[in-house]
Amino acid sequence: MRPDLIIAEPSEARPGEIVSLTFPTGWDRGILYAIEVALGDGWERRNLLISDANGAQPTWFDSGGENVVVEMIGIVGAGPDRVLIPDVLEPGDYRICTGNAGENICTPIEIVAP
């Protein structure tokens, strides 16, 4: 977790909402993110998120059921990169992580009931 390098706003979101991710140090990244749920002492990936940083609409995919092709686009600067919270997520503690950066970083987010 590196909430000093990646910030989710809002830090509490409902399924189907847009969350803005900002990078105070201008972290180099791509447009792919993962959302993972806290399970015991670890994390389990739930979905892949594609940000709007390339000018497209943010979208999401199931992390295990589809072959997802993601453009390898380098993004720099503070953002924001907007991601869509999947409407299938249950309330709980999650984290959003970069998915194709040189070094992936994560920030916490709470999913609340719709």
**In this predicted model, what pLDDT tens digit does every residue of 74-95 receive, in sequence order?**
888 898 999 999 999 999 999 9
Q: What is the pLDDT of residues 33-63, one digit of tens each?
A: 999 999 989 999 999 999 998 888 999 998 7
Separation CA 54–CA 90 (nearest Å): 28
Domains and CATH numbers, the chain: 7-111 (2.60.40.10)
Q: Could you please report the per-residue DSSP string of 43-70?
A: EEEEEEEE-STTSSPPEEEETTTS----
Which pLDDT score, from 0 to 100, does residue 62 have? 86
- Confidence (pTM): 0.91
pLDDT at residue 102 above 90? no
Per-residue pLDDT at 8 exceeds 70:
yes
CA distances from 16 to 26, 73, 75, 90 (A): 27, 25, 24, 11
pLDDT of residue 37: 96
**111 or 67: whose pLDDT is higher?**
111
Using the structure block, give the residue that is written with the tokens 């990646």: 6
Phi first, then psi: give them for residue 24, nearest 5 degrees: -55, -30
Alpha-carbon span 14 to 10, nearest angstrom = 10
pLDDT confidence of 11, banded at 50, 70, 90? very high
Residue 66 — very low, low, confident or very high, per pLDDT cuts 50/70/90?
A: low
